[in-house]
Amino acid sequence: MTTDLDIRGVVIPAAELSWRFSRSSGPGGQGVNTTDSRAEVSFDLAGTTALPDVLKARALRNLDGRLVDGVLTVASSEQRSQLMNRQTAARRLADLLIEATAPPPPPRRPTKPSRGMRERRLENKHRRGEIKRLRRSTGD
In the chain (140 residues long), the average pLDDT of successive 10-residue segments reads: 74 86 68 72 88 89 89 88 89 91 92 96 97 84
Phi, psi dihedrals of residue 10, rounded to the nearest 5°: -105, 130
Q: What angle do CA 47, 48, 49 make, to 5 degrees?
A: 120
CB atoms within 10 A of CB 66: 13
CA–CA separation, 71 vs 99, rounded Å? 17
Tell me the one-letter amino acid at 122: L
For residue 26, what pLDDT is reported? 56
Encode burial over 85-116: b for 16+ CB neighbours within 10 A, e otherwise: bbbbbbeebbebbeebbeeeeeeeeeeeeeee
In this prediction, residue 73 carries a pLDDT of 92
pTM to 2 decimals?
0.68
Beta carbons within 8 Å of 4's beta carbon, 6+ residues apart: 11, 12, 13, 14
| Predicted local confidence at residue 1, as pLDDT | 55
- Distance, CA of 19 to chain centre: 22
User: What pLDDT sits at residue 89?
Assistant: 92
Q: What is the pLDDT of residue 33?
A: 57
Which pLDDT belongs to residue 25?
67
pLDDT at position 139 is 66
What is the pLDDT, as a whole number, of residue 42?
92
